[in-house]
Amino acid sequence: MIETEIETRPVEKVRDTYKQNGMPASSRARPRVVIVGAGFGGLAAARELANADVDVLMINRTNYHGFWPLLYQVATAGLEPESIAYPVRAILRRYRNASFLLAEVSGVDFEQRTVLTDVGSVSYDYLVLAAGSTTNFFGNDRFAQYTLGMKDLDEAQRLRNHILYCFERAASEQDAARRAALLTFAVVGGGPTGVELAGAFVELIRHVMRKDYPMLDVHQAHVVLVEATDRVLAMFPESLQRAALDRLRRMGVDVRLNAPVADVRPGALAFKDGTELAAETVVWAAGVRASPLAEALGVTLGRGARVKIEPTLTLPGHPDVFVIGDMAYLEGYRPDVPYPMVAPVAIQMGEQAARNIIARTRRNPMKPFRYFDKGQMATIGRSAAVLDAFGIQLTGWPAWVGWLFVHLMELVGFRNRALVLLNWAYSYFTYDRGVRLIFGIGADEQVKVRTLNVERANVERANVER
Ligand SMILES: Cc1cc2nc3c(=O)[nH]c(=O)nc-3n(C[C@H](O)[C@H](O)[C@H](O)COP(=O)(O)OP(=O)(O)OC[C@H]3O[C@@H](n4cnc5c(N)ncnc54)[C@H](O)[C@@H]3O)c2cc1C
């Protein structure tokens, strides 16, 4: 077996961590599986390895697992951040062979079989890379600079603070055009995240902000969903796409199809046809790409900077290195179409990678990944959703109940389920939202950002005039 001494910086600190968790360091008799990422894929792999004759070390840059499908509810003041996150250690303590290291992984030395982290290097016998994805700005720095993302808890909290702040500013703004821009909420990208967020914005404005800001005419508030193609929810069957579009428009969302974005400026969105939209809030939900770790590996990448892998989920030429979930590019979902970046794919890949690791430890052949498609769903506000599963297509209330049930059951931890259920019931019966505080991440940034934006806008205007 390979020597798996842990090199650390400082050495004692990380070694102590391992001892605290009963993890033998250099004296291990069993192979070590290092899992990078405590998301859907990484946790599924750890769970599948729980009774295997291996030691599992999970590395994650945060100490929690995030349930991203409910992130938009954190951003729209429906849920507290902590109700959709769960401590990794609390999950792993059920597994006697698993341990956790809080660290950011920056690369892998495949020759030395070592993972490079900000607290030192960790050697592995088997490696599962499951670091997920990040927002894709398609190389445009201005999109990244002037839009708000929604990929993790920090971003969702920043967005929530920004929205609440816009209402506060609008309440005291005398200039009608400025007030309109403060009350315009644009979401770029008509995929499930964009659709869910646009629906949630409307509900927040219609049911909550209307009562909180009686001095504002909330009819001035404008939710715009911008999509470059001619449809929303492109992955869904056409009938459900139409149902979703119809529902959004009936709710009052200004859905702009065939509207590719040319540029984003402070406080404005410019379209390719030359028109502009003044909006203080622009959320970028138009694309995802693999975690930057994929590029740092120096291996062949596919579309979306995802790592090209074998059907056994291994890296070509490295049968002990598995890449799964959003980071992985594997065709086979449909002919020439890669598996989508969704939670069920990540979970099933995690389970298959773990089974293949067990097979290798027993010198058995590995099996290719086979996906069991359980369908897809998206919610479009209160009592409305679209659901496409096992040949059944549902819309409206039945789809919404299905959506609520699945998301509640998939959440990790009884406490989180109870918190979410309580919040949902409260919102459903009172038409209110409990979490409308401007605090935490991004709260004190708002004033600075605003000043900066105005300064940048002035500089840009001066440049144009010159
Ligand atoms: C807003 C939003 C809504 C979504 N809605 C749905 C939905 O309704 N249904 C659905 O099926 N899917 C949905 N998805 C997609 C789904 O969440 C992903 O496909 C899934 O999380 C992928 O799992 P993963 O394990 O590959 O990555 P993740 O679950 O993202 O986990 C990656 C983990 O790696 C960690 N990490 C990243 N980089 C490093 C590093 N360098 N070092 C250490 N740790 C690192 C991260 O902190 C994270 O814990 C949504 C995603 C988002 C963002």
Dihedral through CA 354, CA 359, CA 360, CA 361, nearest 10? 90
Residue 297 lies in a domain: yes
Q: Which atom of ligand 1 is nearest to the CA of 133?
A: 30
The answer on 330 and 235 residing in a single domain is no
CATH of the domain at 251: 3.50.50.100
Which of 36, 47, 68, 376 most suits a substitution to test ligand 1, by most atoms within 8 Å of the C-beta?
A: 68
The answer on 295 and 279 residing in a single domain is no
The answer on 197 and 111 residing in a single domain is no
pTM (whole model) above 0.75: yes
The residue from 361, 396, 422 where one domain ends is 361
221-246, pLDDT tens digit by residue? Answer: 999 999 999 999 999 999 999 999 99
Residue 241 lies in a domain: yes
Q: Helices 445-465 and 153-172 sit at what angle, rounded to 10 degrees? A: 70
Active-site residue flag, 48: no
Q: Whose CA is nearest to atom 39 of ligand 1?
A: 131
The answer on 120 and 12 residing in a single domain is yes
Q: What is the mean pLDDT of residues 111-131?
A: 96
Residue 330 lies in a domain: yes
The answer on 214 and 201 residing in a single domain is yes
Residue 94 lies in a domain: no
Number of domains in the chain: 2
Confidence of residue 427 (pLDDT cuts 50, 70, 90): confident
The answer on 460 and 400 residing in a single domain is yes
The answer on 245 and 294 residing in a single domain is no
Q: Which atom of ligand 1 is nearest to the CA of 342?
A: 19
Range of the domain at 431: 141-286+376-465
Q: What is the pLDDT of residue 22?
A: 45
The residue from 337, 361, 385 where one domain ends is 361
Residue 87 lies in a domain: no
The answer on 168 and 157 residing in a single domain is yes
Q: What is the mean pLDDT of residues 130-157?
A: 92
User: Given 196, 203, 227, 280, which residue is catalytic?
Assistant: 196
Q: Whose CA is nearest to atom 7 of ligand 1?
A: 69
Using the CB atoms, write b or e for 164-183: b if 16+ within 10 Å.
bbbbebbeebeeeeebbbbb
Residue 92 lies in a domain: no
The answer on 313 and 439 residing in a single domain is no
58-79, pLDDT tens digit by residue? Answer: 999 999 999 999 999 999 988 9
81 lines ligand 1 (CB under 6 A): no
Q: What is the mean pLDDT of residues 380-386?
A: 89
Q: Whose CA is nearest to atom 6 of ligand 1?
A: 69
Of 186, 117, 103, 190, residue with least CA distance to 386: 190
CATH of the domain at 343: 3.50.50.60
